[in-house]
Every structure is written in structure tokens, then in C-alpha cells.
């Protein structure tokens, strides 16, 4: 029997993808164009199914290219200097949020996909960072800027661009369309052929691309190849759930959208087997998990339900919803895992909490965040009502108040730092790859001045540090330095524990609503860790008998002194305290 070659394997997969996407088109030439544009006719690898491209040593930082500024220096150079000095050997990868020329939305309205924003630096700066860290970059695939060459050509009725956008008759019934904005879906545009109405899911400056035109697909194949050549290892498919539009449907998570993700996966893993796809799909849990496919779509999906549930846990003093959700979470099969985070450049998405938190709980959380300086972004429902879509607040200020503190202190109880650190210690222990937004790693506060300057709610958590000020804060006994050093120590410790492999088994424990517990166990080494967290403002005692620890082996408290705890009857946790207990006989675990 003749063994199939990598290129034959690729051709079979591409043929299947194209048949779903373009059933009525002649596909032979299109297939050849895709292979040539990806240079897969020159070099093509056979991907290994269900291979984990990560382990417990992987942690990412999420940042804008200009989150740290130094006068007279390109921001990407300043960022690279900070990463090398403070985080080399600690984090494995860095997600630089869109670093291309843009017209709005802090980068997500791309003018040119293959240029670096000249205010940040150039491709040499991106290449330098990619040599030191796994580089994650955005493939802003759903839409582009209204100031892009493509859209200018659309208005001038010439190529490339004339047929690149979704045009709809304004009389068309689009009431079923789901989107996270309250602005009109269609934007009227004057062209050389008269008025046209183009589809804009997010804003009128972000015009949705028409993937029903295969030429648009070819444009993105070229972009993907270019990013790979520039050192990108991890592709974040931004807003991909909205990609394919069919009037009369929700135009969300359509089968063709999933097929495009599968096609992109086929291309990158045949080009560079270590490359990774992560889908940014801020939607309810079941729909989000669908982007794993059968381990043939995203390698990682954003764990969007984790931020609102974990923040609600910390400020409410009850882990009931978090525990219930985690008990129902499917284990990620090998070759896939979760991308865990608590805060991002956007905000705390609330759609992924729907069905997991009661409406009253969500409203209570929104009100508390507003008391701590947070803003609320809204989405329009089909019935004309608006519903909270996202809370915009820095994570540090989100932990300022507790829901059930006395009215005398308006919810501020002095445990802000403890809540903040406990939340991250919990995130580090759950199944998946952890990621820290740079302003969470640095415990940055709300930036009210930036909101006033931009008039955008999301700017509240997009502070720009002056490098000298940041270095000064990190060299003193500021809350920034205290938290940064504790988080770095936790990341370092986690990276040595096989039980924290992103695909290690995960078992939530039943310790009441005020103590969250989880057991992680490595399939390959047998290493086990029991992690427990007091998520309340009162001390909590945990009986060792309730942890179901194997009594025949030692259990070491690796966060305190590494001593065996078997002689103890119980563990006393101060407010927002936590412990990582490691089974002493685990194979391959460092002692």
C-alpha cells in the first residue's frame, strides 16, 4: 500500500474544505492557487494528529505594542526590553495586539495587514521579539478598515476590493442577525455606481469582508504565509464567529465559518507543524467549545466564561457557579486545550456568563463594578432592548469591593490585593494555558484620563506606562511591585509541576461555597496536586479528610515550605488564602 505524501494529504483536505465553501465553483485552479501562495508546493509537512504543542511551562503575556513608552525609543523596542529584563525564562509567549496601521478600535480596524504601524517600529522589531518568545498575532479576518485600499477600491469600483465586501439591500430582513453592538448593521456608502449598503458587524469603520468571494480567501492565504515568514507562531482569529453571512440567519457560527477555520488549520499545520490557531469567539459556552471541532479547528479556544465567573466568585464570596460550570466542562482532548485569562484589552464579557449566572447576579456584578469606576458596554436584542455585553474596568479595580461587605465602607474591605492574587493563583491551577494581560500582571488601575481622551469605555484598561515610572514602581514597595513579584513566583512554580500540564486531568472538589478546590493529575507521570482557595473574607478551616488525599503517601505544601502535611488535622486559610498540595510520590515531580 502506497503511503500518502504530505502534499497529497493536504490536497485531499483542501478539496473537502473548498467543496463546502464553494460548491458551485470550479475549484481545481483555486486549490492550486492556495497551495502556491502558501509555498506548500515547495515544502509541506505531515501534521501529527492530537499532538499537544504546549506543556506546564507555557504562559503568555497579552499586550499592546505601545503599553510601555520611553521617550526617543520605538515602543516595540521598549516592550522587548521590558520582556527580556523582567519576563525572559518566565513566560513562553507574547501576544502583541494588532500592530498594523489602523483607523480605529486600537488596532482592530486594519488599514494594511502586512505593514507594522510606523509609530510602533517595524518588522525587524517584531522579528526580534519572535526570536525570544513565541509570538502570537491577530489575524483580523472578519473585517478591515474603511480607510483600507480594498475599501477605497470598492468605492471606486475597481480591483482589488470591488467585490470584497458584503452588500445587502436595506429592505432585507436582518432581524435574526446576532451581533455585539447597538449601531446600525448596514452602512450606506457612496460609490461610483451610486449608493451601496455594506455589512458592518462592529462599527462603520470596520467593514465586513465577503468570504463568499474566493479571492478574499486568497488574500488571507497570502497574509497567513507572510505572518509565518515574519515569525508568527500563534494565530488569533479575531471575531471569527461572525465571518460568514447569510441573510435570514443569525450569521453567527455558521457551518461555513467553521469550515474556514478548518481550512486555515490545514494550511498552517502543513506549513509549520508547531504553529497554533486560537479562536476569539466571545459567545456562550457551548458555541465557543464547538470551535475545537474534532481537534481539527482551533488548537485553543478562549475560556471566555472564566473571567466573569471567577470575578463574580471573588467579589461574592461564593464559588457555587464557578464550581458548577467547571464540573460540566468537557476535558480538552489531546491536541486542544483552553486559553485561560481573567482580564483582557477589551473587558469582562458577559455573554459567556449567560446561563451560568442568574440575570440578577449579572446585574449585581455590573452595579458593583460601576461603583469601582467600571463602565458598561451594551448590545442590542432583537426586541429592541439593550443588554449588558461587557464590563470595562481594570482587573485590579474590579477586586476593590466585595458584594457583601458592610455599608459603612461601601464594599471596600481592605482585601483588594489578596482577592486579586487569589484569582490569579486559581487561574494558574485550572486546565489550559494561562495568559496574563500586561495590566493585570502589573496591577494597573483604571485609566480615567484615557477614557476622557478617547471617549471609549475600553480605554479604561488600556493604560500606557511611561517606562521610567514603571521601573520606579517596580523597584519600590508599591502594590504594583508586590503583586508582580508574587505572580512571577507563582508562574515559576507552576512551570515545574507536571500536574499543571494544560491537558492534565481536572476534578473539582466539594468543599462548600466559600472554599474552591480542584485536583489536577498528569496522565503521563501520575503527578498530582490538590489546590484549595478561600474565596471569602472570613478565615476557613478545611479538614484534610475532606480533600480525599491518598493517606499512604506524603502531601507537600509547595507554596509554604514543602513540608508534609499528613500530621495535620486541618488547614486554616486566611481570607483569600490558597494552598497547592503536591503528592510526594508522583513520578517525575521535582522535590
Burial class (CB in 10 A: 0-12, 13-18, 19+), 77: middle
The residues near 290 (Cβ < 8 Å, ≥ 6 apart) are: 253, 258
Q: Judging by beta carbons within 10 Å of its beta carbon (0-12, 13-18, 19+), is residue 423 exposed, middle or buried? A: buried
Kindly name the residue from 238, 397, 447, 577 that is annotated as catalytic. 238
Q: How far apart are CA 219 and CA 163, in angstroms?
A: 12
φ, ψ of residue 516 in degrees (nearest 5): -100, 135
Q: Check if the beta carbon of residue 260 is closer than 8 Å to that of residue 214.
A: no
Is 533 within 8 Å of 515 (Cβ atoms)? yes
Contact indicator for 66, 97 with CB cutoff of 8 Å: no
Nearest Cα residue to 307 out of 215, 230, 390, 412: 390
Q: CB atoms < 10 A from the CB of 561, how many?
A: 7
Examine the residue annotation and report whether 238 is marked as an active-site residue of this protein.
Answer: yes
Work out the angle at residue 155's Cα, subtended by the Cα atoms of residues 153 and 159, and round it to the nearest 5 degrees.
30
Cell 478546590 identifies what position?
517
For residue 226, give the nearest of 383, 63, 37 by alpha carbon: 37
* Of 395, 393, 394, 316, residue with least CA distance to 362: 316
Catalytic sites, residue numbers: 238
Amino acid at each position: 500500500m502506497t503511503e500518502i505524501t504530505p502534499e497529497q494529504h493536504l490536497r485531499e483536505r483542501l478539496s473537502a474544505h473548498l467543496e463546502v465553501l464553494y460548491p458551485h465553483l470550479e475549484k481545481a485552479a483555486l486549490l492550486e492557487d492556495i497551495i502556491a501562495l502558501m509555498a506548500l508546493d515547495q515544502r509541506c509537512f505531515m501534521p501529527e494528529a492530537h499532538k499537544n504543542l504546549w506543556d506546564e511551562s507555557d504562559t503568555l503575556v497579552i499586550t499592546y505594542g505601545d503599553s510601555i513608552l520611553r521617550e526617543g525609543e520605538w515602543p516595540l523596542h521598549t516592550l522587548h526590553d521590558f520582556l527580556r529584563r523582567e519576563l525572559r525564562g518566565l513566560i513562553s509567549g507574547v501576544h502583541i495586539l494588532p500592530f498594523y496601521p489602523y483607523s480605529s478600535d486600537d488596532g482592530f480596524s486594519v488599514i494594511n495587514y502586512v505593514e507594522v504601524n510606523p509609530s510602533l517600529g517595524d518588522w525587524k522589531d517584531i522579528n526580534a521579539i519572535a526570536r525570544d518568545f513565541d509570538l502570537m498575532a491577530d489575524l483580523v479576518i472578519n473585517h478591515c478598515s474603511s480607510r483600507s485600499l480594498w475599501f477605497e477600491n470598492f468605492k471606486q469600483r475597481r480591483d482589488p476590493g470591488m467585490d470584497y465586501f458584503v452588500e445587502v439591500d436595506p429592505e432585507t430582513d436582518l432581524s435574526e442577525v446576532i451581533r455585539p453592538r447597538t449601531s446600525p448593521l448596514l452602512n450606506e456608502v457612496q460609490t461610483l455606481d451610486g449608493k451601496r449598503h455594506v455589512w458592518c458587524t462592529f462599527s462603520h469603520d470596520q467593514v465586513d469582508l465577503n468570504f463568499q468571494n474566493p479571492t478574499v480567501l486568497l488574500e488571507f492565504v497570502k497574509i497567513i504565509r507572510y505572518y509565518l515568514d515574519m515569525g508568527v507562531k500563534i494565530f488569533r482569529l479575531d471575531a471569527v464567529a461572525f465571518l460568514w453571512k447569510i441573510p435570514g440567519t443569525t450569521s453567527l457560527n455558521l457551518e461555513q465559518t467553521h469550515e474556514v477555520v478548518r481550512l486555515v488549520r490545514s494550511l498552517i499545520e502543513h506549513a509549520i507543524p508547531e504553529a497554533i490557531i486560537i479562536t476569539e469567539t466571545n459567545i456562550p459556552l457551548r458555541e465557543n467549545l464547538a470551535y475545537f471541532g474534532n481537534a481539527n479547528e482551533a488548537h485553543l479556544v478562549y475560556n471566555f466564561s472564566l473571567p466573569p465567573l471567577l470575578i463574580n466568585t471573588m467579589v461574592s464570596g461564593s464559588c457555587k457557579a464557578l464550581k458548577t460550570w467547571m464540573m460540566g466542562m468537557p476535558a480538552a482532548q489531546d491536541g486542544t486545550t483552553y486559553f485561560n485569562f481573567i482580564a483582557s484589552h477589551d473587558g469582562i464579557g458577559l455573554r459567556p456568563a449567560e446561563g451560568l449566572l442568574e440575570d440578577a447576579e449579572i446585574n449585581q456584578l455590573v452595579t458593583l463594578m460601576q461603583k469601582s469606576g467600571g463602565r458598561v458596554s451594551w448590545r442590542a436584542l432583537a426586541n429592541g432592548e439593550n443588554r449588558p455585553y461587557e464590563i470595562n474596568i481594570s482587573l485590579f479595580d474590579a477586586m476593590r469591593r466585595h458584594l457583601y461587605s458592610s455599608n459603612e465602607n461601601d464594599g471596600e474591605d481592605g482585601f483588594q490585593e489578596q482577592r486579586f492574587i487569589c484569582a490569579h493563583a486559581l487561574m494558574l491551577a485550572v486546565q489550559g494555558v494561562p495568559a496574563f494581560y500586561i495590566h493585570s500582571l502589573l496591577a494597573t488601575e483604571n485609566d480615567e484620563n484615557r477614557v476622557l481622551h478617547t471617549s471609549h469605555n475600553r480605554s479604561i484598561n488600556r493604560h500606557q506606562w511611561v517606562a521610567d515610572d514603571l521601573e520606579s514602581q517596580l523597584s519600590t514597595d508599591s502594590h504594583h511591585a508586590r503583586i508582580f513579584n508574587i505572580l512571577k513566583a507563582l508562574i515559576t512554580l507552576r512551570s515545574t509541576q507536571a500536574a499543571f500540564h494544560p491537558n492534565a486531568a481536572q476534578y473539582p472538589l466539594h468543599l462548600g461555597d466559600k472554599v474552591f478546590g480542584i485536583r489536577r493529575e498528569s496522565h503521563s507521570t501520575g503527578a498530582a496536586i490538590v489546590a484549595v482557595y478561600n474565596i471569602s473574607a472570613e478565615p476557613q478551616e478545611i479538614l484534610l479528610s475532606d480533600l480525599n488525599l491518598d493517606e499512604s503517601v506524603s502531601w507537600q505544601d509547595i507554596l509554604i515550605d514543602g513540608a508534609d502535611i499528613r500530621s495535620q488535622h486541618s488547614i486554616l486559610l486566611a481570607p483569600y488564602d490558597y494552598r497547592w498540595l503536591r503528592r510526594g510520590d508522583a513520578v517525575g515531580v521535582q522535590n
